[in-house]
Structure 1
Amino acid sequence: MSLQHAHGFDLEARLRERERAGLRRHLDPVDAVAGRARTADDPGGDPPEFGEERVVFAANNYLGLAGDERVAGAAARAAREVGAGAGASRLVVGDTPIHRSLERRLAEEKGTERALAFSSGYAANVGTITALDPDVIYSDELNHASIVDGARLSGADVEVYDHCDAADLAATMAARAEAADAGESWLVVTDSVFSMDGDAAPLAAVCDAAEEFGAWVMVDEAHATGVYEGGLVGERGLADRVDVQLGTLSKALGAQGGFVAGDEPLVEHLLNAARSFVFSTGLAPPAAAAAERALELAPERRESLWRNVDRLRDGLETLGYEVWGDTHVLPVVVGDRADALALEGRLSEAGVVAPAIRPPTVPEGTSRIRLAPQATHTDADVDRCLSAFEAAAEEGDFA
């Protein structure tokens, strides 16, 4: 073996190990981002050949706006009038009127002085946490990977508190306070809606704990933006108690990108110190325009979304399935990894796209099917999903 080969990377062995553990993922082509789509019969085909249309309950396109003609029209106009891309970092040449208009609308939506758009929600989280440079981060144990990565990159001491447990947060902070240095900066970070468990953070209680110890609160509204007016922070009237609000333009708003909202000094600091903003080409103008139009359209879609959520949850529970959470994300808990994969296969055969979520994404013994209803799903779509679950329950021990 040559010295050069000895110090290389055996990526094929890593892939085989993922395959053995049932953790290897693949890209599955679809012909549209919508409540219904055709998937490729042969994912490796080039070009792919698409099969029969299926009902998609896997996307985070909660309001169905990714395929809305009005949103697409706003993107097309921006591309024609401004350009398909920002051209550079917005600090160099990419700060267009479209970006500024979006940020004004986001600040209004979030009840803050200013907002700042990033190229993705991931970039917003990593850039914001590292730019704040806290001494200590208190993080919910089920926070998104982008929060976890931002905390790691920040170099802060990270204290993980029990999921959605404000009492444990307070106890963890109290224990730390006994030996804390004067002037330490503390940051409490939580998702508002947790995308795998479908539950919501106890935001008021989190704010109570943080205020007791003089900590800042940062809330990631990725799965709440657009679904709730002002996000969950706004819906619960907590905008004046949350120091940093994050969100995404890529889920319910059907566009692309992320944002941070807060007071003037926060945004000024981030546009100077958040590396994922400073050293990245700005958000594409078509995405910014699409997101702003989607924000205008979101209120008209919410009632339909919640009607579909309630019909699906009630139907699944009537069939004997265990559905966690209290939001628009519906985790149907099966338990065993193999059972979850088998149920995913049964649903796919019935024309329903719904992913099996299994360890290490979720704890052992809690494998599940994650359902994400959309506002644009029809009654027939919901019925088709329920019928597929009913047939699966009759054939196997899933419920």
Structure 2
Amino acid sequence: MADRGFDLESRLETLEENDLKRALSPVDRVAEHGYFAEPSGGELPVLETAEALVFASNNYLGLTDDQRIQDAARQAAATVGTGAGASRLVTGDTMVHRDLERQLAEVKGTERALAFSSGYAANVGTITALEPDVVFSDELNHASIIDGCRLANAETVVYDHCDAASLRSKLAARAERAARDGREAADESWLIVTDSVFSMDGTVAPLDAICDAAEEFGAWVMADEAHATGLYANGGGVVQAEGLEDRVHVQMGTLSKALASQGGYVAGSAELIECVLNDARSFVFSTGLAPPAAAAASEALHVARHGGARERLWENVAHLRDGLESMGFEVWGDSQILPVVVGDRRDAIALADGVRERDVVAPAIRPPTVPEGTSRIRVVPMATHDRNDIIACLEAFRAAGEEVGLL
């Protein structure tokens, strides 16, 4: 009988040969310091004795172990329950969800917001619910945006990364093509989708220029604020920092990064939210976000808006960037994400290993996650790192960089 199964052993061997095989390494807590176990493979994870500094987390404001956020989650679990129990369209909608969505809409400057069980589900569900005929997508957009375009069966036009001129030329070319085919512009729906902060490059999309191009051609704009929500003006994202609430039609984001919880959201007009609520399969057919997660995100958003965590984060970012660049490292980006670009994947792995030996966790990012020749260490401080933590990170990079021969 023919074997029509899957040769998983060969797949794993290929990954290992190309330095692409990954492994899980449990940590005792999600914070700026932690004890890590050896990569998976044994029976029970045994934590190492040395505490490590974490400079690789999306817990940007360091709120995952904040007592106020933990208390909010406990109270929601005790009062409402540990899980929603059903789709929110059945019995899984609670006042905790509504409070979170009210706050999100207020921060994002929109009429309404809708919470999803994950950021991935929010992107896929929103794009498929809109059913765009054509999507114009930044070449480095998140995988959930790419998958949303595929599931929506939309014609996808990719433009150069963070390049509004490239976007405008793609819009013009598509308009000319429609005119040649005898179609009116109103016959098609166009959606421009971009991350606002790109997670691997740390770059920030030129949203104002993107909105200019969109308005010239009558397209809608959707901004994925996953790595920006909570970090900018009034706890908002880049849209709020640039005052573009009235020009960006769809604002998406996550609750699992700066807001120290789990889940995603979409914010916009009341009509947009009603359409997404009814037509997004990833919302309709998913159990609602767990009430403790919703309550934690709601409290974290309050802390982000009214506390000093944002200011502390940006101070740490500036200190770390200046230190790395002064050593001679090439640091990309314009945000809290600081990619230290090495180039060769083996050099990146060696640098990450050297840093890890000095009790700083900042793993290497290499192809296929990033393009060939741009392997890097993605360095990310938290608001809760103190000055000594930043200095320790810099010293680890200096010593490891000299050891590997990069400095």
TM score, norm. by length of structure 1:
0.98
Specify the code of the residue in structure 1 equivalent to 2:303. Answer: L
Aligned to 1:341: 349
Specify the code of the residue in structure 2 equivalent to 1:304. Answer: R
Superposed, 1:178-327 pairs within 5 Å as 178-180=176-178, 181-182=183-184, 183-229=187-233, 230-299=236-305, 300=307, 301-327=309-335
> Would the aligned equivalents of 1:42 and 1:49 in 2 still touch at CA under 8 Å?
no
Aligned to 2:85: 87
Instruction: Give deviations 1:5-53, integer Å, cap 9, x for gaps.
Output: x111122221222112211111111000000000013633333111111
Aligned to 1:33: 30
| Residue 157 of structure 1: how far off its partner (Å) | 0.5
> Would the aligned equivalents of 1:200 and 1:327 in 2 still touch at CA under 8 Å?
yes
Instruction: Give deviations 1:99-134, integer Å, cap 9, x for gaps.
Output: 001000000010000000000000000001111110
Aligned with 2:391: secondary structure? helix
Aligned to 1:64: 62
Number of matched pairs: 396
The equivalent position to 1:357 in structure 2, one of 348, 365, 369, is 365
The alignment status of 1:74 with 2:78, answered yes or no, reads no
Aligned to 1:331: 339
Gaps of 5+ in 2: none
Superposed, 1:25-174 pairs within 5 Å as 25-41=22-38, 43-51=40-48, 52-174=50-172
Q: Which moved further from structure 2: 130-139 or 11-20?
A: 11-20
TM score, norm. by length of structure 2:
0.96
Specify the code of the residue in structure 2 equivalent to 1:198. Answer: G
Distance 1:224 1:262 in 2: 17
Superposed, 1:351-390 pairs within 5 Å as 351-390=359-398
Q: Which moved further from structure 2: 327-336 or 179-188?
A: 179-188
Q: Which moved further from structure 2: 213-222 or 45-54?
A: 45-54
Distance 1:81 1:324 in 2: 46
Distance 2:39 2:204 in 1: 38
Instruction: Give deviations 1:194-231, integer Å, cap 9, x for gaps.
Output: 11111100000000001100000000000000111221
Q: Which moved further from structure 2: 42-51 or 110-119?
A: 42-51
Q: Post-superposition, which runs of at least 4 consecutive aligned residues in structure 1 deviate over 6 A?
A: none
Distance 1:398 1:137 in 2: 41
> Would the aligned equivalents of 2:23 and 2:39 in 1 still touch at CA under 8 Å?
no
> Would the aligned equivalents of 1:58 and 1:371 in 2 still touch at CA under 8 Å?
yes
| Residue 165 of structure 1: how far off its partner (Å) | 0.4
Q: Which moved further from structure 2: 41-50 or 113-122?
A: 41-50
The alignment status of 1:9 with 2:9, answered yes or no, reads no
Percent identity over the alignment? 66
Distance 1:76 1:12 in 2: 44
Aligned to 1:391: 399
| Residue 235 of structure 1: how far off its partner (Å) | 0.8
Specify the code of the residue in structure 2 equivalent to 1:384. Answer: A
